[in-house]
Structure 1
Amino acid sequence: MFGFRLSVKNVAAVLLAALIASGAGAAQAQSTHRTRRESNANRKARIARTIQETYSHRWEVGGGGGYQRFRSGENLQRNNQVTWETWGQYNLSPKLGIVANGTGAYGNAKISNFYSLNNIFRPSIQQYNVLGGVAYRFYAKEKLSASVQALGGVSIGLFQGNITPLKSEQIGMWPSQTRPAFNVALNLDYNLYPNFAIRVAPTYTGTTFGGTVQNNLGFKVGVVYRFGKIK
């Protein structure tokens, strides 16, 4: 009889311990779930603050380099050009900005071998563009943003290179002149900090040397620095 009562007590003790452990586990799970939920809420709030801080800057300035394909004469092959670019942007809102842009491009024209008789080999060419227009940001996240820009202005073409005393048009190249130009680009920014980003952008630049349109494709890689606040 004594042994039976002892067994009952043991069983009761085990059940009580199991209930306590179960309750403690449930309480811990509930506490962990609440902590995780609060952590997610804090993370979302932090991301929202970062996005607000990143895209509420009044000014953006930047610069970089790139590559472009250019046809230096109506009947000439396209040649490779190394480019540089610098720009400034005044933001009217987190999405819309006014852009001023300056670029340079350098390469060597692919002319006929006939002119090698005059010691003319792949004459150097240069273009300098002064453009202005607008940019519109259509995607804005904590780390990534995307915007399109459309610019118009002039391109200064210097095609004389090392061909003196000949003129560039005498060997099938465009004449050295200043002509209307326009540019369209897709700017893809990776934000390292709210005020600093790396930019990669495929670009299209239209120039009009010789009274025709040259469709020049390329890309640029650069940095963006943001400052000031939109009030």
Structure 2
Amino acid sequence: MFRSNRFYPVLAITIFSLAVLQTRAQQTTSQPQSTEQTQPTQTSPQERAQVLRQAQERVKARRKLRDQQTIQDTYTHKYEAYFGGNYLRFHPGDHLQRINEKGWHAGITDYAFGKIGITVDGRGYYGTTYTGPNPYGVYQPSISQYTFMGGPTVRFFEGVHWAWTGHVLAGVGHGNFGTGTGGLPPELIGLYSDGNAFNLTAGASVDYNLSPTLAVRLTPSYLMSRYGGSTQNNLGFTAGVVWRWGRQ
């Protein structure tokens, strides 16, 4: 009976020791596994290059959408108004040399047919002629003429920053060739007579957009006039600003 009482404590201590050793062994084996799980996964150069390409494609897609929205905001306006200055090499008489004229221009375009609009345009030109020696003592009289024209305008390129348009306008012009002669009839010194004449202009405009509603415009142009029964072929340009409104 005495021996059996001593046996049970020894057995309990042995079982407890084995349990402790087993627990420590499990902890030791689990630590390398957790360490291996926390190590970062290494990627190949091909995988990194693919990730970079995908990021670039997403950036390009967002930029394309933003550009498309800007183009829509810019060119869905129904009306354009423009104004600014102009320059023209004008022929004031059949036997006189060409002169430099400067002035103003203004107009409105209604894009009633998408990229095709109807334009109404007005211009003023002012210059000083050189008539040469004459018995009347009038050598450098000032002249002016005004044009009032209308016709189609076509926008054939629509970009985020740039736009290109072309127009052909026709109408009437009025020439004041005797305003600087002191009452002398202008035809006596080789100038055309005062009066109205047919005018036609053709030009191609380049717009640089400052915003969807505002742009600056440069237009090299040709102006044909019919003063004195003859045809004057004049070259020049206009420069100014464009304001858009009335989004469709």
Give the TM-score normalised by the residue count of structure 2.
Answer: 0.80
Deviation at 1:27, TM superposition (A): 5.7
Q: Which has the higher contact order (CA 8 A, sep 6+)?
A: 1
Percent of pairs with identical residues: 34
- CA deviation map 1:94-128 (0-9, x unaligned): 4100000000000011202225xx43121000001
> 1:79 — aligned with what?
99
Amino acid corresponding to residue 66 of structure 1 in structure 2: N
Amino acid corresponding to residue 78 of structure 1 in structure 2: R
> 2:195 — aligned with what?
177
- CA deviation map 1:15-74 (0-9, x unaligned): x9xx95632866654443322211110000111111111111000001011210001001
Select which of 86, 105, 119 maps to 1:66. 86
Select which of 142, 152, 164 maps to 1:124. 142
SS in 1 for 2:43: helix
CA distance in 2, matches of 1:40, 1:94: 28
Amino acid corresponding to residue 126 of structure 2 in structure 1: Y
- Root mean square deviation of aligned Cα: 1.9
CA distance in 1, matches of 2:156, 2:180: 45
Give the TM-score normalised by the residue count of structure 1.
Answer: 0.86
Deviation at 1:145, TM superposition (A): 1.0
Native 8 Å contact 2:143 2:180 kept in 1: no
CA distance in 1, matches of 2:46, 2:168: 59
Select which of 148, 156, 173 maps to 2:174. 156
Structure 2 stretches lacking a partner, 5+ long: 1-35
Larger radius of gyration: 2
CA distance in 1, matches of 2:231, 2:163: 31
> 1:89 — aligned with what?
109
Runs of 4+ in structure 1 off by over 3 angstroms are 19-22, 24-32
Structure 1 stretches lacking a partner, 5+ long: 1-15
Q: Does 1:199 align with 2:189?
A: no
SS in 1 for 2:77: coil
